[in-house]
Amino acid sequence: MNDRALILSERALPALLNRERAILEFNRRVLAQASRADVPLLERLRYVCIVSSNMDEFFEVRFADIIEAARRPGAAVSMRDLDTLAADAHALIDEQYAVFNDELMPLLDAQGIVIVNHADRDAAQRRWVSQFFTSQVRPLLVPVGLDPSHPFPQVANKSLNFIARLSGRDAFGRENSIAIVKVPRVLPRVIKLPARLSGGKQAFVLLTSVIRAHLDQLFAGREVEVFSQFRVTRDSDLEVDEDDVKNLRQALRTGLTTRHFGQAIRLEVVNTCPSELSDFLLEQFSLPPAALYRVNGPVNLVRLNQLIDQTDAPALRFPAFEPAWPVEQLPRQQSIFARLREKDVLLHHPFESFDPVVQFLREAVHDPDVLAIKQTVYRTGSESPLMDLLIEGVRRGKEVMCVVELKARFDEEANINWAERLEAVGAQVVYGIVGLKTHAKLLLVTRREQGKLRRYAHLSTGNYNPKTARLYTDIGYLTADPELTADADAVFQQLASLGRMKPLHCLLQAPFTLHKQMLVHIDKVAASAAAGGPARIVVKLNALTDVPLIEALVRAAGAGAHVDLIVRGACMLPPGIEGVTDRIRVRSVVGRFLEHSRIIYLQWGEAADDAALWLSSADWMGRNMFGRIEVAWPVRDASLRQRVIDECLVPYLHDHQDAWTLLPDGAYQRDGSAGPSAQQALLQHYAGDTGGGLV
């Protein structure tokens, strides 16, 4: 052991960064995209919407968990920690609305894209809006005046509502001054005005503005003195005691009906909301003052995606691109099975098309020699050509097994529906293992060839979802490797039978071998570094929060290894601490596409066998390593391994447009605006314009 490693082993490991703050920091990086002059204007607005969606999930899941943890006796999380986190969230949301109001709205106006408030509408526009309210909105609204026989209504999670204080007495002579108006989700939140009324611009009105302009009409004979929009965010984690239910699918189906009415976590109102109304709402939802978020604009910026979708302005969007079919790897006229008997195929999404994966399954469904198809389903969407093909496969007499993860958060209903459709035609559907989510992405085909059975597989770092495959960076791997496909089959057998299985040939699986083997290989790198040999670690992930893996990386760096971490989201490892983590660099790349691939490269010597590269479905988080079924597989083909390094690692280590560097205190610093963008270079590369290479 060298002196540096010895010193580090005798010192305490550095204090880890806070996970929740790391999530908020990620959203600050997303919000920064909305302020970039080199990003098309409508895409900048979309980043604002993405932050709103992310923050909704943050409150629904993470913040809800922290509140629950802080309430437990002897909790490690204090109420002071909770207040600090809430203050950080408040600051981020204030920044978001400032970007929206002060930067984007004036720029959109300059481009002839306007949101017309009631005060700014001319007479013709007001007439049109009034007619729209009368014919399309008013019939769906049910104002509720509160009194002992009309209690405060159930308000669904993230729904739009109005609260109003009314003057005078009701029709029965009583002084009930507070009324609530629930706005149905079926109503559009953004309405485009007809061109004849827009003065040559693209003009929109918000549903909230339409309702507030006609609020008095809902309360005949009374005056609306003050009012506000409001929206409540609730704990939306779907809790089911799997050990205490006989039918998990039915239990989750039942739970979905009550999810929208979980414990209130956050209350949003407009910044002009009188304190008497906001205090009343806080009391109704049993929330403390810190849970109140006053916003300068619509209480749900996510819905401005409707404005983006309705705007006709191609120049204000990212240039269109068509993912490339990998013609060199998969000639269009050749059977995919025949090609895989020659060589493995690697697909780099979204730069390469997801269509070959669909074609692989389609070929299997229509091939009379294919006997069995097995697939995992985590997030596939409510419409899926892959699920339709599995159903067709059953009808064609194939043995189809589908492992459907019913507890994929916010996709439970879609997955339940697919499970029921598959079961209805006779597919074998299982729901994984009690207490463990099945997050592995596997598709296995068994085919009879010359009297023998041969397997073909697709493994992926991302979901079987053609839509997100155009938005997320992921790696898909098609193979006929006997060892790899036998391992995939063993995983399916275990998920169905719950039996013990023999050690796998090359696949690493959580919760059994993945975590342990990652630690073993990081320690190999540390040992090589301590002996003065080559020692290199490059890991690309969505999140790094697992403490033992963080400690192993710190030890390896302390021994002299060079460690590069490309972590899109939350990272709890503090880099750059002198004498401790100064050999560790952490970068986050936030660009046009959501970085989603998980890649692990380790080198611990000079020989060819002293390096390995894995692709994986798992982030380095405790839940992935011990609470999920995950897989990691080695890329053993030298040319494909080099391709992953050249396309998925090296460009990201040299990105100077979309990359941010993590500082020791948990803040991030933009690397600069000049220089290469990894994603842009890959788009040009796959469009045939290499421009001198990827770096």
Strand partners, 376: 403
Report the first-to-last Cα separation within the chain, whole angstroms: 36
Spell out the SS3 assignment of 443-506: EEEEEEECCEEEEEEEEECCCCCCCHHHCEEEEEEEECCHHHHHHHHHHHHHHHHCCCCCCCCC
One-character DSSP codes across 169-209: --TTS----EEEEEPPTTS-SEEEPPGGGTTTSEEEEEHHH
Catalytic (active site) residue 348 = no
Asked if residue 462 lies in contact with residue 472, where contact means CB atoms within 8 angstroms, the answer is yes
Q: How far is CA 457 from CA 340, 360, 362, 494, in A?
A: 9, 9, 14, 17
Q: What are phi and psi of 143, to 5 degrees?
A: -70, 140
Q: Which two tokens stand for residue 543?
A: 């999140």
Helix pair angle (19-33, 41-57), 10° resolution: 160
CA 543, 545, 550 angle in degrees (round to 5)?
A: 110
| Nearest-angstrom CA–CA distance, 584 and 564 | 6
Chain-centre distance for alpha carbon 256: 20
| Nearest-angstrom CA–CA distance, 70 and 79 | 6
Q: Left (φ > 0), alpha (ψ -120 to 50) or beta: where does 415 sit?
A: alpha
What's 691's DSSP letter? Answer: T
The full length of the chain comes to 695
Q: How far is CA 325 from CA 460, 473, 593, 603, 686, in A?
A: 17, 16, 19, 32, 10
Asked if residue 568 lies in contact with residue 589, where contact means CB atoms within 8 angstroms, the answer is yes
Dihedral sign of CA atoms 250, 252, 256, 258 in order: positive
Query: Can you give the C-alpha Rg of the chain in angstroms?
Result: 28
Q: How many CA atoms lie within 13 A of 156 on its CB side?
A: 12
| Nearest-angstrom CA–CA distance, 81 and 118 | 42
Strand partners, 438: 629
| b/e map 186-204, b = 16+ CB within 10 Å | eeebbbbbeeebbeebbbb
Asked if residue 179 lies in contact with residue 146, where contact means CB atoms within 8 angstroms, the answer is yes
Is the N-terminal amide bond of 143 cis, ω within 30° of 0?
Answer: no
Report the DSSP pairing between strands 594-595 and 508-510.
Answer: unpaired
Asked if residue 63 lies in contact with residue 88, where contact means CB atoms within 8 angstroms, the answer is no
Q: Which two tokens stand for residue 266?
A: 């956050």
Chain-centre distance for alpha carbon 190: 24
Count Cβ atoms below 10 Å from residue 4 Cβ, excluding itself: 17
Report the DSSP pairing between strands 178-182 and 142-145.
Answer: antiparallel
Asked if residue 406 lies in contact with residue 378, where contact means CB atoms within 8 angstroms, the answer is no
Helix pair angle (355-366, 385-395), 10° resolution: 10
- Given 439, 515, 521, 685, which residue is catalytic? 439
Q: Helix-strand-coil percent breakdown of the chain, rounded to 5?
A: 40, 20, 35
- Which are the catalytic amino acids? 439
